[in-house]
Structure 1
């Protein structure tokens, strides 16, 4: 193991990733509506960062102090200080970018107005709109000694903190949750005169405008004021294994822990008066101001992901219509297509419909006997689940593994498990020991008296919604050896004591780490023997120190390592004597880069794998993940070419260096190349 100084802290690296998202919001080459949506993505990411990463750091501080490990506690506190400093810097940049985006919107006659900028006509219209559309969704919480505000707040909600003033009486306080679950946060005001100008106001301002309507007749007041705030809680929870109850019941109880967890962050309107802030701090039981972050008037900016385009179409990215794969469309059935040749799809460039059609056909095909599938995240209205229910109605055996602990999708997956169980699907509720993160589907058909398996291996979830915005690979194959090992993975989940020997698949936590290390060592041996060597890697996160050490050793042996890392990266390239042969870039663009891919040069006979696993300790050791080899030479070359295009990106690629300051890749004399657009045209040319 190398000294600690050669690993970049993953939490700071994550903030560096979100800074790349903010760069997209700041980039004036992006359409103006896309820029404001990137601000929403940045905000949503920051929420998750606090729920997961910051909460974990805080827990580590408490653990070190409890164990009496003062030096570890000091080091972790120093990390927390660095996190807070970086967050303050990013928050300041965010506010500047937002102001710039507002100016940009005005150039296209789109005006985001607040309650102080309204004309009498607009005020009157909004008051009527409030009474008729919004008021029914408003339920204030009047605060008094018996009200525990921490227990009442929804982690994903946005709130107004209301001060109710009455002469000669103590100020009273209330909270109002914005009803964004019931309606859009953005309200377009009808034109008063010119139809050219579009005016949008946030529901926050409309509620502040109408505070007197909400409270009149219920409390006495001379005046009121309201300012926005939101809380972010620790997303972790524990599952009590001592209580004799079902896994679903345990998960439901564990979810309640999250609802009442201590806030790790409170963001508030910087204009909130000090007395109000002190009162809010007291009611939220925050012991210090460390978790309080001042910001602009609007909190929970994640809603801006759905900011409406009320102007011309060119104010957002032009559509890239999803491609129909001829490898499917040239055949009568999906099974004929897959039997003819292995098929590789790359979403969102290809239509996710090909997968949903594969499951739909399996649901009524008389030859299909058994469908196996595992669920991590699915769409709110899932056609896949509907097809699986249809399959049961058609007399087929359907086994679905549901991961109840998919972060922030726990409640949805609990409901899905109940729905499918009621429909007659055999639901397996994951494993108490390991999260199930693999992306597997196996359809078993009877053909000429024998059972033949058609399998799917993917890097992304079976989710119709995210398949439109996440890039992911899907492999469809009739290879019976791969299919049998995929079935063994389902067996492993249900019967963990039964261990099959996986020859082809990389399966966490059984052999994935070992298999990857063997592949890296082979490249080192090839380099030492003067044979062609090299490693090309694409992952979301690269933080596992054992695997990073292997890449460092490969670099020292002369193996060229090229990595594309979207998010956290603890590996530091170009350290003298350690990582001079490693280059890392990161691409942030209109689609979220999500695949995990490995290419090993293997003395000129490349070995290519797609996987559900990032290079993180949790993915290698604490989850069930599957990496699948690509055996078809045409598909190998297709993946290699896609990676080559991404490595040549001169528009959206940033260099990951020792400081992680997100410098764009220098174009030099090379032509401008935006890899996501170039890949679309490449894949289209293959059809």
Structure 2
């Protein structure tokens, strides 16, 4: 484990260890077989984004260091070397897991076959499929004409060696993109029995290469897969004469021409062909060059085809009804009388859709305001907001155009909403709005009454089925007044108001959490009970880590549930022996941020959109919201304590052994996500 110091883990290697936990799920024999192959897809997709963003940033730092001669506080070259070492080890493990899963699938009568293994009737089917669906999507580029700018990021290509038996030793080369969008990556083949045969689109193309190239006199074809990954960081233009929508649109076009950061190729590719590709694609010595197997872009395995074997998938977990939100009753009326806490995906996100639908047609509702960061492909949230505007409501949306990899979708939805009369507050270059807020203003008698929703995750009905998040519905006047103040903040060019209830970054959040930890430190030094429970996705802010070390040294019991990157090292004698850090990686993606402080017996509970990273605390609009209802506090605490007792899917973070399971082998077995579902089902 590469460390910056004894007490801080490098954030990049920590992230790779998190992705290693995803790989553990693919290796876990207790995970249903098809879910295991989907975890390989998640691992691959995660790694792609890591290279496109984090490795690309390190490459930029390395280049800057060379050009400027300035010394950075760490060596990007050393970090890149360590990343490549870990990546090689994980890729070796990945390949072994994939081979094992393929064997297990075959034992279940599910065979992933190559173009060399199909029967004649299957071959006839493949040719028919190729000519009907695939051929029109293929646009070969002769290698002599290839330019780096011709290649599409996140795609896989076949480098094809063409030859003729009439001219032995004479070769030509071509490049074909495998069109896994818009086509599916997997094709189900006809079977003579009950077995299922699956061929990848790559091999469909391999089987039919003669359909494309034989007219040019070639009769021998050999195809080798490669994948080309670009720098995905955006360079934001500061031209004040352009709207931010225009600036973002132009920046996205530039992303398609980003510098190469990773080149993966079939290890059987001939050296001369590899050299030509490296030259044509401008692959330098600083770019990651990896040998791999026959198939790349395993992210497509996240969409493994439905083969009718539910026994090889997770058992269905139907969303639970919330006992305080009976169907066919006004949600607004319920919220007026009591706070409600929703927990996705255990409970349905459709309560939010129902709330928006009710607000869009309720004659008393006059205005709706909402922040949007990532929305679903066919967003019911956006459609509900558009419907509200059509019904004469004043609808205002802050659409964050800088949501990484969702920029194009957000630009599209921004345009749709503007067309329908929704007032759009556009993002600001260099400054992201990451808070998850909804505010409804309703005229009740002679006064305006406000209703708010503050959440830890996006207003996205698709991800809410797999992301574990918390969402507070409230009519508390202090909370709703502060939510309203946040929206005024957007509209008044960031003149920060004073907040009475919400903790808002970048104005107060860092100082607030520092004060809360300091309070626990004072209590511990005075011999009082002192503890905190911190749940987040990433803990990499050096100042907050050092403050937690200070708390641990003072005797504060610090328990942390951190799914992803964590630079803090627990269990160091004299520094962090009072700190426990676990990560839970399971069926659902742990996404909520929850903070609990003992506070001398007057326990304080907060849910938040913010991790403890510099970007969240100092460079984004983030919100932490107090949970004031005693019953809801107990609900949150019970769920956190269940997770802290997990001995099935919890791993110890930054242990000398990488990713050991916590309390492995102990009984009774506690799998927190299942236990939380059962708990919520019973309350």
SS at match of 1:327: coil
Q: Give the superposition deviation at 1:183.
A: 2.1
Report SS of the residue matched to 2:14: helix
1:61 maps to which residue? Answer: 62
Secondary structure at the aligned position of 1:294 is classed as strand
Give the 5 Å matches for 1:174-213: 174-191=174-191, 193-194=192-193, 196-213=194-211
Which of residues 366, 379, 383 in structure 1 aligns to 2:380? Answer: 383
* Aligned residue number for residue 44 of structure 2: 43
Shift in CA distance, 373/70, structure 1 to aligned 2, threshold 3 Å: closer
Shift of 1:330: 6.1
- The structure-2 alpha-carbon separation of the partners of 1:452 and 1:660, relative to structure 1 and needing over 3 Å to count, comes to farther
Does residue 672 (structure 1) correspond to residue 669 (structure 2)? The answer is yes
Q: How does 1:165-564 map to 2 (within 5 A)?
A: 165-166=163-164, 167=167, 171-191=171-191, 193-194=192-193, 196-217=194-215, 219-242=216-239, 244-288=241-285, 290-329=287-326, 332-564=329-561
In the superposition, relative to structure 1, how do residues 132 and 357 fare at CA in structure 2: closer, same or farther (>3 Å)?
same
Rounded Cα–Cα distance in structure 1 between residues aligned with 2:189 and 2:435:
47
Quote the Cα distance in structure 1 between the aligned partners of 2:61 and 2:72.
Answer: 12
The answer on 1:15 being equivalent to 2:16 is yes
CA 307–641 in structure 1, closer or farther in 2 if over 3 Å, else same: same
3-state secondary structure, aligned to 2:228: strand
The worse-fitting range, judged by mean Cα deviation, of 321-330 and 343-352 is 321-330
Q: Is the 8 Å Cα contact of residues 244 and 428 (structure 2) preserved in structure 1? A: no
Paired with 1:25 and 1:564, the residues of 2 have a C-alpha distance of 22
Structure 1 residues 389 and 14: alpha-carbon distance in aligned structure 2, compared to 1, 3 A threshold: same
Task: Using the TM superposition, name which of 324-333 and 559-568 deviates more.
Answer: 324-333
Instruction: Please list every run of 5 or more consecutive structure 1 residues that lacks an aligned counterpart in the other structure.
Output: none
**Counterpart residue number, 2:150:** 152
Please give the alpha-carbon distance, in whole angstroms, between the structure 2 residues aligned to 1:328 and 1:174: 60
Deviation larger for 519-528 or 170-179: 170-179
Change (3 A) 1:272 1:444: same
- Runs of 4 or more, structure 1, over 6 Å off, are none
- Helix, strand or coil: the match of 2:226? strand
**Distance change in 2, residues 1:132/1:331 (3 Å):** closer
Q: Identify the range of structure 1 (268-277 vs 400-409) with the bigger mean alpha-carbon deviation.
A: 268-277
Note the alpha carbon deviations across 1:267-318, whole angstroms, 9 max, x for none. Answer: 1111111111111111111122752111111110000001124142110000
Tell whether the 8 Å contact from 2:453 to 2:473 is kept in structure 1 after alignment: yes
The alignment status of 1:76 with 2:76, answered yes or no, reads yes
CA displacement 1:35-94 (0-9 Å, x = unmatched): 000000000011011011111111111222223135757x22111111100000000000
Once structures 1 and 2 are overlaid, which stretch shifts more, 175-184 or 196-205? 175-184
Match of 2:25 in 1: 24
Choose 288-297 or 5-14, whichever is displaced more. Answer: 288-297
1:642-682: per-residue Cα shift (whole Å, max 9, x none)? 00000111110101134360000124643101110110010
What aligned pairs does 1:102-141 form with structure 2 within 5 A after superposition? 102-141=102-141
Q: 1:104 to 1:3 in 2, by over 3 A?
A: closer
Q: Distance in 1 between matches of 2:26 and 2:591?
A: 20
Point out the more displaced range, 510-519 or 161-170: 161-170
> CA separation in 2, counterparts of 1:403 and 1:543?
23
Q: CA distance change for structure 1 residues 471 and 389 in 2, over 3 Å: closer, same or farther? A: same
1:433 to 1:282, Cα distance in 2 relative to 1, 3 A: closer
Q: Give me the whole-angstrom Cα distance separating, in 2, the residues matched to 1:450 and 1:299.
A: 60
Q: Note if contact 1:360-1:384 (Cα within 8 Å) is conserved in structure 2.
A: no
Partner Cα separation in structure 2 for residue 415 and residue 640 of structure 1: 40
Could you tell me whether the CA contact under 8 Å between 2:647 and 2:666 is conserved in 1? no
Secondary structure (helix, strand or coil) at the match of 1:351 reads coil
Q: Could you state the TM-score of these two structures normalised by the residue count of structure 2?
A: 0.97
Q: Partners in 2 of 1:582 and 1:258 — Cα distance?
A: 41
- Alignment of 1:606 onto 2:603: yes
Equivalents in 1 of 2:112, 2:494: separation in Å? 60
Q: Distance in 2 between matches of 1:152 and 1:462?
A: 36
Q: Structure 1 residues 71 and 334, CA, compared in 2 at 3 Å: closer, same or farther?
A: closer
Contact 1:542 1:568 in 2 (8 A): yes
Q: CA deviation at 1:143?
A: 3.4
Q: Are 1:85 and 2:85 matched, yes or no?
A: yes
Q: Indicate conservation of the 8 Å contact 2:432/2:619, yes or no.
A: yes
Q: Deviations over 1:489-519 (max 9, x none)?
A: 1122222342211121111111110111011
Contact 2:560 2:582 in 1 (8 A): yes
Q: Is the Cα contact below 8 Å between 1:108 and 1:311 reproduced in 2?
A: no
Instruction: Report SS of the residue matched to 1:536.
Output: strand
Distance 1:505 1:101 in 2: 48
Q: Structure 1 residues 669 and 206, CA, compared in 2 at 3 Å: closer, same or farther?
A: closer
Q: Is the 8 A contact 1:159 1:176 kept in 2?
A: yes
Q: Cα distance 1:642–1:516, how it changes in 2: closer, same or farther (>3 A)?
A: same
Tell me the distance in 2 between the aligned counterparts of 1:411 and 1:173.
34
Q: What are the Cα deviations for residues 538-596 of structure 1, in whole angstroms up to 9, with x where unaligned?
A: 11000000001110110011000000110000001112211110010101101111001
The offset of 1:328, in angstroms, is 1.2
Mapped partners of 1:248, 1:455: distance in 2 = 28
Query: Structure 2 vs 1, CA of residues 277 and 76 (structure 1 numbering), >3 Å: closer, same or farther?
Result: same
Distance of 1:151 and 1:169 partners within structure 2: 30
Query: When the two structures are aligned, how many residues end up with a matched partner?
Result: 679
Structure 1 window deviating more from structure 2 (102-111 vs 487-496): it is: 487-496
Q: 1:289 to 1:425 in 2, by over 3 A?
A: closer
Displacement of 1:460 in angstroms is 0.4
Q: Secondary structure at the match of 1:117?
A: coil
1:125 Cα offset (Å): 1.6
Separation in 2 of the partners of 1:253 and 1:289?
Answer: 27
Shift, 1:220, TM fit: 3.4
Task: Give the 3-state SS of the residue equivalent to 1:445 in structure 2.
Answer: strand
1:229: Cα distance to partner?
Answer: 1.3
Q: Distance in 1 between matches of 2:197 and 2:430?
A: 53
The 1-side partners of 2:217 and 2:609 are apart by: 59
